[in-house]
Amino acid sequence: MISFNKKTVFSLIIGLLFSGIALYFTFINIPLGGLTGYIKTINYWWIFPSLLSALLSYVFRVVRWQLILKPVKETQFWQAFHPLVIGFMVNCVFPGRIGEIARPAIFYKREKVEFSKVLATVAVERIFDLITMLVFFIITLTFIEIDPAIDITFGGYHLTSSTLNTIWKTTLKISIVLVALLVLISVSSTRALFSRVIMKSPDILFFTCSHLRENLRHGICKKVIHVLDNIAVGFEVVKSPRNIIVCLIQSFLMWGLIALSLYFLAFGFPGISITFLQAFAVEIIICFFIMLPSVPGFWGLWEAGGVFGLMIFGIPATESAGLTLIYHFLHVVPIVIIGIVSAMIISVNLIQSSRNGEAALRMQEEHERCE
């Protein structure tokens, strides 16, 4: 019998809320009969190159993780492959994104390495992904022509060319700030200064009782510092500038293959014609949407991001919904099957692995509090 802790149940409830809202606004104006009729007209042969491209992206993801793991432990391809795909599979079938903890927990248990270091490598992966998406988002908005008279209503909001221009400028500013912060956090002296400032920050609330300030200091400030330290540990793992460049190249290739998967699939859908850069832009928008809490597999938010992104390029809502649904299905079902097979091969108890990871994380935080 599977049991979930309170945090997981709360995460599931919040995810259901966000996913439900996203599904409502995505399909409120799309007739179900018209959508099912349209899906029957697609050319399913384009699924094969799309699926191949999507699966190849995981090869680059594994190779990148091998490089990031190298200073922690020299790892063969299959040693990294099984925990990685199992982690992604867990995110697709269990709430709370516990796959992010399950992956390092499986690796830490099988390879006998320090859990916090493996967890830091996963955090570094996410940072490389975020940097790559931000770079490509800026590139796509720079080189893609968007109708200046565009006015799309989505969920009660109006999207115009001026809105997109604001998003482009804001994203550029965020990217510059993010890169600067990562550089500063990676420097130990700067990180120590940040830590001192963060620990002193509750003193701003001088008009409150000292007990509240101490609770904030130990309950929130230390957790923020813990996150910064984890990021720094991860970047210490990739010490060489050459390795950082290689990881970025692998990230660009990986995300390029994911966008290529959507680009190939679109050929099989009547009435849809998008360029590779447009497919990349839609993929990035989907990623921004699924960063929000959602149900396992990101159902609802994925569809909202896909339909919203495709409508920017003049694709009607029904066609956008049909392509997004099939595209989502192709990215969830195969990785669930591969993840289950991997779990069977290395004899992993998924729930226990996730609990072990959470326990290891709590022990690490407890150790830091004692220090």
CA atoms within 13 A on the CB side of 120: 25
Residues ≥6 apart with Cβ < 8 Å to 115: 104, 105, 108, 357, 360, 361, 364
**In this predicted structure, what is the pLDDT of residue 2?**
42
**Distance between CA atoms of residues 325 and 39, nearest Å:** 9
Mean predicted confidence (pLDDT) in 131-148: 77
227-244 confidence digits (pLDDT tens)? 777 667 666 666 677 888
CA atoms within 13 A on the CB side of 196: 6
Q: Which residues pair with 151 in a beta bridge?
A: 160
Q: Which residue has the tokens 């949407």?
A: 289
170-202 confidence digits (pLDDT tens)? 767 777 777 777 777 777 778 788 888 888 888
17-58 confidence digits (pLDDT tens)? 655 665 555 566 666 777 788 888 999 899 999 999 999 999
| Three-state secondary structure call for residue 72 | coil
Mean predicted confidence (pLDDT) in 64-93: 89
366 falls in which pLDDT band (50, 70, 90)?
low
Contact 313, 147 (CB under 8 A): no
* pLDDT over 70 at 104, yes or no: yes
What's the 3-state SS for 322-368? HHHHHHHHHHHHHHHHHHHHHHHHCCCCHHHHHHHHHHHHHHHHHHH
**Distance between CA atoms of residues 298 and 91, nearest Å:** 9
Helix axes 161-186 and 115-143, enclosed angle (nearest 10) = 150
**Distance between CA atoms of residues 161 and 171, nearest Å:** 15
285-315 confidence digits (pLDDT tens)? 888 888 776 677 787 878 888 888 888 888 8
* pLDDT over 50 at 114, yes or no: yes
* pLDDT over 90 at 267, yes or no: yes
Greatest extent of the chain over all pairs of C-alpha atoms, in Å: 67
Contact 179, 131 (CB under 8 A): yes
* pLDDT over 50 at 219, yes or no: yes
**Distance between CA atoms of residues 342 and 216, nearest Å:** 42
Radius of gyration of the chain (CA): 22
Contact 349, 106 (CB under 8 A): no
Task: Please give the C-alpha separations between residue 300 and each of 70, 200, 228, 286, 325, in angstroms, as whole numbers.
Answer: 37, 41, 31, 11, 10
**Distance between CA atoms of residues 240 and 72, nearest Å:** 14
| Three-state secondary structure call for residue 113 | coil
Q: Which residue has the tokens 């399909």?
A: 27
**In this predicted structure, what is the pLDDT of residue 155?**
54
Mean predicted confidence (pLDDT) in 103-128: 83
**Distance between CA atoms of residues 294 and 272, nearest Å:** 28
pTM score, whole prediction: 0.79
**In this predicted structure, what is the pLDDT of residue 191?**
76
Considering only 39-43, 122-126, 139-143, 364-368, which range has the smallest mean pLDDT?
Answer: 364-368
324-352 confidence digits (pLDDT tens)? 999 998 998 899 899 989 988 887 766 55
**In this predicted structure, what is the pLDDT of residue 3?**
45
Chain centroid, CA 74 distance in Å: 26
Does residue 262 or residue 215 have the better pLDDT? Answer: 262
- Domain ranges for the chain, please list them: 56-149+237-370
Helix axes 301-312 and 6-27, enclosed angle (nearest 10) = 30
SS3 content of the chain, % helix, strand, coil (to 5): 80, 0, 20
263 falls in which pLDDT band (50, 70, 90)?
very high
269-293 confidence digits (pLDDT tens)? 998 999 998 999 899 888 888 877 6
* pLDDT over 50 at 165, yes or no: yes
- Say which amino acid occupies 249: I
Task: Please give the C-alpha separations between residue 86 and each of 49, 93, 108, 220, 289, in angstroms, as whole numbers.
Answer: 23, 11, 14, 31, 23
254 falls in which pLDDT band (50, 70, 90)?
very high
